[in-house]
Amino acid sequence: MCGVTSSATSVRIRKRPEERREEILSNAAAIALDEGLERITLRAVADRLGVRPGLITHYFPAAEDLVVEAFARAAVLEREQFFPTEGTPMQRLANFVGHIERGESLALARLWLNARHLSRFSPALDTVLQEQDLLDRARLIEIIEAGIASGDFADVDAEVACIRIFIAVDGGGSYVNSAVELDHPAHRHVVADVAEWALGIEAGRLRALIDGGNT
């Protein structure tokens, strides 16, 4: 009587192209936030996914394409945390400023500083950086305009106020890689101070809302 030998056959599940592309982008964005845009390589992403670099190349033939899209993905995801759509204009502004003051935006600040430097050498990255910057401004301007309409903010030029606030954000963010901890209140509260000034908010009102935790 002949013995019958059965062998288990391993089956590799093939992901749909859109699923695989999303997976690649998500991991590349994570590398961008954790380690910097320079660390995004086809091999680095492949190692995270446990696949061959050739698979990454199939979706992103050039590493620069992956870097550019990873930056955009990270910026979009972080924007949703910065600018919630619920709450009063004052609460939404307090959430934005509080997010920065609590250090929850450090990874994003490093990413933007990194991207602004690399964009000097990459027109494609510069284009996407400008697009994302405009989207951030549009979101903040929307909050400012809503606050003007509700009477929370003074009748100011929303675009001018937005620019002033982001200058404060970027100015503080330029120290993000400092080895020395910058804990002076003037540094930690600069965005709130500038926002109150730019929007005609009573001094200390925004600060009280942030410190009260009702953001």
- Per-residue pLDDT tens for 64-103? 999 999 999 999 988 888 888 889 999 999 999 998 888 7
Domains of the chain: 15-71 (1.10.10.60), 83-211 (1.10.357.10)
Nearest in space to 64 (alpha carbons), one of 85, 42, 82, 84:
42
- Report how far residue 142's alpha carbon sits from residue 148's, in angstroms, rounded to the nearest whole number: 10
Question: What is the Cα–Cα distance from 209 to 149, expressed in whole angstroms?
Answer: 20
- What is the separation of C-alpha 160 from the centre of its chain, rounded to a whole number of angstroms? 22
pLDDT of residue 213: 58
* Dist. CA 89–CA 147, nearest whole Å: 5
Between CA 86 and CA 197 the distance in angstroms is 24
List, for residues 129-150, the tens digit of each pLDDT value.
Answer: 999 999 999 999 999 999 999 9
What CA–CA distance (Å, rounded) separates 94 from 107?
Answer: 20
- State the pLDDT at residue 13: 64
Average pLDDT score over the chain: 88
pLDDT at 14: 73
In the chain, which residues have pLDDT < 70?
1-13, 179, 213-215
**Helix 42-49 and helix 17-35: axis angle, to 10°?**
110
